[in-house]
Structure 1
Amino acid sequence: MKGNVIVGQSGGPTAVINSSLVGVYKTAKDRGAKKIYGMLHGVQGLLEEKVVDLSEHIRNDLDIELLKRTPSSYLGSCRYKLPNIAEDEETYKKIFAILKKLQIEYFFYIGGNDSMDTIKKLSDYAMIRGIDIRFIGVPKTIDNDLAATDHTPGYGSAAKYISSILKEVIRDGLVYDQKNVTIVEIMGRNAGWLAGAAALARCEDCEGPDMIFLPEISFDIDCFIDRVDKIQKEKESVVIAVSEGIKLPDGRYVCELTDYAQYVDAFGHKLLAGTARFLANKAAKEIGCKTRAIEFSTLQRCASHIVSRVDITEAFQVGGAAVKAAFEGESGKMITLKRLSNDPYQCTTDIYDVHKIANVEKLVPREWINEDGTYVTPDFVNYVRPLIQAELTPIMVDGLPRHLYYKDKI
């Protein structure tokens, strides 16, 4: 019999983050964990002792299957930045007192860069104080910007959604015999993995977007307008995908040119919004054509009805691999995905020191972006395509997908 387990979710959710939660829960249960607790709203909720016994909420195999197909974070999330140990040890004393009261031996945190920073700090404190609790990070993020792992659970499903909906947007642009320019804004602060996935829309039944702009390449507004003007003179409908995080040569985000309020979270990240609307208005004014802006926004991370089977399966696997690693004595590590081959696609799990991952962003390689920075290369497409394959059918009730949700979450 193993000791007690606690698991939390942090940061922005994905369409498959709950599959990782199920992977942790089911594997820990199968391997003999006494109790499996869930933190409500991550480590921030833990500090307020908002903890639930997951066995009281995930009761049977149907609940497991429903939860795997449920978007958002079942336990709730947070964007809470742990202070440095030297600056505020009291916070750590409080967390570890709560963990001691719950008799926790294994701690799992499902999240991205900032969440791995939490795992790093907690595992460091445990080591400094000689506390025998194992801390393991479970990767997730639609942004695909975690270092060391080939890709992150959540990215494949977001890429599948982006490319699928973009095909439909492209079809819609051809409805009327009228010149029009559509600019689609896709998530991605500093890394263009999501915007690059728009290239998947280019296939035998769709010409795909005309241009794709990633934040890795400096964005010149005047050059952009000139290119749009040239393309719209040659074709009726122009569709362009832009990352929300594209930056001007001086380092400012394009969206900072808008009148949107610049909200900043606990990690110092600015809320990015309005890039497509700004560029659409600019194009309409400069070129004089009909324009529209579309923001995929949170739809990219919650569209569980079009989830990738590869993605949801791997999300479950990294949760299970985290439990295995912790039960075998590992701590201060993150589970990674290691691609073995592309054709046929094969991928396995591995572990990596979280100190080498936390707060490190993985950007799109420059060689995967074309020379003038207006599209991605075939290497990029070949990298992403295996991750969007196959589907997991929602469990439908009365014509709608059925989800599992925690009713008393506050």
Structure 2
Amino acid sequence: MTKKNAFYAQSGGVTAVINASAAGVIEAARQHHDTIGTVYAGRDGIVGALTEDLIDTSAETDETIAALRHTPAGAFGSARYKLKSLEENRAQYERLIEVFKAHNIGYFFYNGGGDSADTCEKISHLSDEMGYPIQAIHIPKTMDNDLPHTDCSPGFGSVAKYTAVSIREAGFDLHSMCKTSTKVFILEVMGRHAGWTAAAGGLAAEVEGDAPHILLFPEIEFDRAKFLAKVDATVKAHGFCTIVASEGVEVANDRDDRDIDAFGHVQLGGVAPTLAELIKKELGYKYHYAIADYLMRAARHIASATDVEQAYAVGRAAVEYAVAGKSGVMVTIDRQNDAPYEWTIGEAPLSEVANVEKFMPRNFISDDGFHITDAARRYLKPLIAGESYPPYVDGLPDYARLTLAPVAKKLGTSFEV
């Protein structure tokens, strides 16, 4: 069997652990050096493949690659760049195959969410059609936790831990000052259509009166009067009220003119200030709010050990699947048991993953729509378990810095993106 090179790319919003998946891919590929040649990475994700801007990962030492396990964000650069359908722009896909062929690439490892799963599937089929087969394996990644057929998505466990820890600490702060100061605190967290991240905040509340008191999910239609009554009753009962709100909650009706990102998704955000103003106007309570945004997905210092382990495992498994001859699949995490938490690695066909979203099941949300159930707690608790601190130097995390050695271009044509 002729040895082929591999191409690895990071897609979409990065996470605290996506580089752990990269480490898993590169380390496993190095161990399979008789089958896999050089691992090239796309500079800025799939855009790097389209523009033939490749990075030679063999220029990185074993120590640097190992350090990716504790380094946040996308070490090779990521991109919000969604390829159009084959019918709309077949040239994009043909360009990818041309670049892969020019660099003797036979393995494609795409690390991302539902949109990248779609691209991965198309490349798998089109490469066969063009007579240059590519073994395409999708590596799951999304802090939204909305990929189907996998127990969880690497990246979620760490933002879930960040959310639960942050709202617990903010709750202690608010409780200590509520007698004479702020009565309401709102934490806005990421989560487009699925409320998994907001739900994780609910883990911080262990007994009656604990923060957070209210969770707002995209899956539950926002009821203004019901929400205000809940806030008011909570302040009267406990002296303060803490809220975790998903950015995807439709609080106002004037959001049709929001910006659209490169994936065709509506630009979200602004839920917290909208809720705060509503509370101030209708109830008169003093408030504070915070928008976690990039801070939550970049917070490697508080990553879940479970998340780090799983992110690394799916990266390694992608290589093992490719070496075994598989293609057109996504690596999955399959839960075997809740307590103790046990999981194995599996696979799912990309045709069942691409552009499919997994939402919070209704039985994970309390009857009143404002909190989580015991079933949700059983699911969420193991995903935030364990600490995996990065090394520190002079009081700050010591993260990997790559050389990002460029690969000489072989095609005489350029490609505009």
Query: Is residue 288 of structure 1 aligned with residue 284 of structure 2?
Result: yes
| 8 A contact 2:56–2:404 mirrored in 1 | no
What SS class does the counterpart of residue 348 from structure 1 fall into? strand
Matches within 5 A, 1:90-129: 90-129=91-130
Deviations 1:6-39 (A, max 9, x none): 1000011111000000000000110112111110
Residue of structure 2 equivalent to 1:342: 338
Q: 1:389 aligns with which of 350, 362, 385?
A: 385
Residue of structure 1 equivalent to 2:46: 43
1:65 is displaced (CA, Å) by 3.3
Deviates more, 1:34-43 or 1:128-137: 128-137
**Which AA in structure 1 matches 2:326?**
E
Distance 2:76 2:374 in 1: 39
Query: Is residue 11 of structure 1 aligned with residue 7 of structure 2?
Result: no
What is the TM-score of this pair, normalised by structure 1? 0.94
**Which AA in structure 2 matches 1:21?**
A
What SS class does the counterpart of residue 173 from structure 1 fall into? helix
Deviates more, 1:230-239 or 1:100-109: 230-239
1:199 is displaced (CA, Å) by 0.9
Q: 1:356 aligns with which of 340, 352, 356?
A: 352
- How many residues are aligned here? 401
1:339 is displaced (CA, Å) by 0.6
Residue of structure 1 equivalent to 2:410: none
Distance 2:19 2:305 in 1: 14
Residue of structure 2 equivalent to 1:173: 174
1:81 is displaced (CA, Å) by 1.3
Distance 2:41 2:351 in 1: 24
Matches within 5 A, 1:367-386: 367-386=363-382
Distance 2:156 2:321 in 1: 23
1:255 is displaced (CA, Å) by 5.7
Query: Is residue 202 of structure 1 aligned with residue 205 of structure 2?
Result: yes
Query: Is residue 400 of structure 1 aligned with residue 396 of structure 2?
Result: yes
Matches within 5 A, 1:41-190: 41-57=44-60, 59-61=61-63, 63-176=64-177, 177-178=179-180, 180-190=183-193
1:94 is displaced (CA, Å) by 1.4
| 8 A contact 2:209–2:238 mirrored in 1 | no
| 8 A contact 1:40–1:409 mirrored in 2 | no
Deviations 1:204-248 (A, max 9, x none): 69813111111111111222112212222222211011111113x
**Which AA in structure 2 matches 1:15?**
A
Deviations 1:99-156 (A, max 9, x none): 1111001010000111111111111211322322100000011100001111111111
Residue of structure 1 equivalent to 2:223: 220
Deviates more, 1:196-205 or 1:332-341: 196-205
| 8 A contact 2:198–2:245 mirrored in 1 | yes
| 8 A contact 1:200–1:208 mirrored in 2 | no
| 8 A contact 1:2–1:31 mirrored in 2 | no
1:266 is displaced (CA, Å) by 2.0
Residue of structure 1 equivalent to 2:308: 312
**Which AA in structure 2 matches 1:402?**
D
Deviates more, 1:137-146 or 1:174-183: 174-183
**Which AA in structure 2 matches 1:400?**
L
| 8 A contact 2:147–2:358 mirrored in 1 | yes
1:360 is displaced (CA, Å) by 0.4
**Which AA in structure 1 matches 2:50?**
L
Q: 2:194 aligns with which of 191, 197, 207?
A: 191
Structure 1: which 5+ runs fail to align? 248-253
**Which AA in structure 2 matches 1:115?**
S
What SS class does the counterpart of residue 131 from structure 1 fall into? coil
Deviates more, 1:223-232 or 1:342-351: 223-232
**Which AA in structure 2 matches 1:55?**
S
Structure 2: which 5+ runs fail to align? 407-417
Counterparts in 2 of 1:409 and 1:183: CA distance versus 1, 3 Å: farther
